[in-house]
């Protein structure tokens, strides 16, 4: 059974603190193993990748077979049914249209001193996307990672996706083709992250690595950050539903289970202002678990990490949600917009009973790569901005330098940076002599 909490109880804060403090990430200490793998890939390159792929994925490769050939991609794409292809095309169209609106604009202006100032946005040159492999891999994640990169203008886009035992998900390769990915490598784990960060004879290094993975992949991303950019360190999935009594308990139960079925470490929380509705949802979850294919995983997640919280009003619900800072937030109330305006920390918000979080995972348009483990307090979901960087621009006229240069010189002197100050003073002296 999940935890049942009520803000009316005197010990609520203690129970809520325990809920917030639960450590659901992988507890296994993998950092030393990952460090050794990264060092080995840096030293031996392709040979290390081939050895690790044989050991962990039971797949014998050569340098020339690390990547899928065009003919292989053609073969697997042809296996996808017309219905699945149409669904991927629809998802890609909507994701692309949404992210095109995120493109930032260059700016340039002349200020009161006559200085030209501005900024310019440019994409990273190359990005590598990590995709978990085998039949459990997710083509939707390919679209969510690759399309924002292509919209941003990334010139070279590659994927690493392990194929344990040689098992390939054709939908992943079709999604990669639809999204405009250049190359798909059949490698995974920390070794794939190392290859993307440092490069090998076959795999050219990239500038940015995105995409979810297991504890080894997460540890590798932490270690290579600085050499390359990364999106985030993804933790177990989360959903928080704020719902009043005028909802279908079964709908809410299914929404909670939609995240619980991902992983035993996932977390599903219901906040409601009606205790009877909370009990009805818990009963509906129990009933659905009887028939759910992934009931063992979802049941463990619900029992270990799930919670039903009863509040006195929806303002209290919004305040608690902000403290949780959930990855996914559904607001199923009579006036979801009013509750939404009180939300300051959430990865993604889904408004109204007709907007299940699962729509956002596939065809809604916004990205489903979102901050977890309360990191929505300070970070955002994946988007175009993850694949571009801002370069500032400045041009001084003699008049502008005369107006602001003395202040720069004075600040440089205050910081004991003599050459800084002299570089400005030399120009000011020429101006004072009337020699331009």
In Å, how far are 231, 252, 314, 317, 340 from 337, measured between CA atoms? Answer: 29, 18, 12, 14, 5
CA dihedral over 187, 191, 194, 200, signed as positive or negative: negative
In Å, how far are 198, 394, 395 from 427, measured between CA atoms? Answer: 43, 16, 14
Selection from 218, 189, 229, 202 nearest residue 68 by Cα: 202
Q: Which of 238, 261, 264, 327 is catalytic?
A: 327
At 321 the three-state DSSP class reads helix
Query: For tokens 């065009």, what's the residue?
Result: 70
Is residue 261 among the annotated active site residues?
no
Q: Which of 328, 330, 357, 409 is catalytic?
A: 328
Q: E-assigned strands of 161-210?
A: 183-185, 208-210
Phi/psi at 239 (nearest 5 deg)? -145, 140
Asked whether the beta carbons of 130 and 217 are under 8 A apart, the reply is yes
CA 108/CA 113 separation, integer angstroms: 15
Selection from 299, 134, 126, 295 nearest residue 213 by Cα: 134
Is residue 262 among the annotated active site residues?
no
Active-site residue set: 327-328
């Amino acid at each position: 059974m999940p935890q049942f909490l009520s803000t009316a109880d005197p010990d609520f804060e203690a129970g809520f603190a325990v809920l917030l403090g639960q450590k659901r990430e992988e507890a296994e200490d993998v950092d030393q193993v990952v460090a050794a793998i990264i060092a080995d890939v840096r030293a031996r390159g392709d040979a290390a990748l081939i050895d690790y792929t044989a050991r962990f994925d039971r797949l014998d490769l050569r340098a020339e077979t690390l990547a899928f050939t065009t003919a292989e991609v053609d073969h697997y794409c042809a296996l996808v049914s017309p219905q699945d292809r149409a669904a991927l095309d629809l998802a890609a169209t909507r994701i692309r249209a949404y992210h095109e609106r995120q493109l930032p604009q260059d700016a340039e202006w002349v200020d009161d001193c006559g200085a030209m100032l501005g900024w310019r946005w440019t994409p990273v040159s190359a990005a590598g996307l990590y995709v978990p492999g085998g039949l459990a891999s997710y083509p939707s994640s390919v679209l969510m990672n690759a399309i924002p990169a292509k919209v941003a203008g990334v010139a070279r886009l590659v994927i690493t996706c392990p194929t344990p035992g040689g098992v390939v998900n054709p939908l992943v390769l079709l999604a990669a083709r639809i999204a405009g990915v250049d190359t798909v490598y059949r490698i995974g784990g920390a070794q794939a992250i190392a290859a993307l960060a440092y490069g090998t004879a076959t795999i050219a290094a990239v500038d940015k690595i995105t995409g979810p993975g297991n504890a080894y992949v997460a540890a590798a991303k932490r270690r290579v950050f600085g050499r390359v950019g990364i999106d985030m360190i993804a933790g177990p999935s989360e959903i928080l539903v704020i719902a009043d009594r005028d909802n279908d308990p079964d709908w809410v139960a299914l929404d909670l289970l939609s995240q619980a079925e991902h992983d035993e470490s996932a977390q599903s929380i219901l906040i409601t202002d009606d205790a009877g509705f909370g009990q009805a949802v818990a009963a509906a979850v129990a009933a659905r678990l009887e028939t759910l294919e992934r009931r063992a995983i979802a049941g463990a997640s619900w029992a270990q990490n799930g919670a039903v919280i009863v509040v006195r009003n929806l303002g209290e619900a919004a305040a608690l949600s902000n403290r949780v800072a959930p990855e996914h937030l559904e607001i199923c109330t009579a006036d979801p917009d009013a509750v939404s305006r009180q939300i300051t920390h959430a990865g993604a918000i889904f408004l109204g009973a007709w907007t299940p979080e699962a729509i956002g995972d596939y065809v809604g348009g916004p990205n489903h790569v979102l901050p977890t483990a309360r990191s929505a307090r300070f970070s955002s979901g994946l988007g175009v901005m993850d694949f571009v960087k801002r370069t500032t621009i400045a041009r001084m006229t003699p008049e502008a330098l005369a107006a602001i240069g003395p202040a720069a010189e004075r600040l440089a002197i205050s910081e004991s940076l003599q050459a800084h100050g002299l570089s400005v003073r030399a120009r000011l002296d020429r101006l004072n002599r009337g020699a331009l």
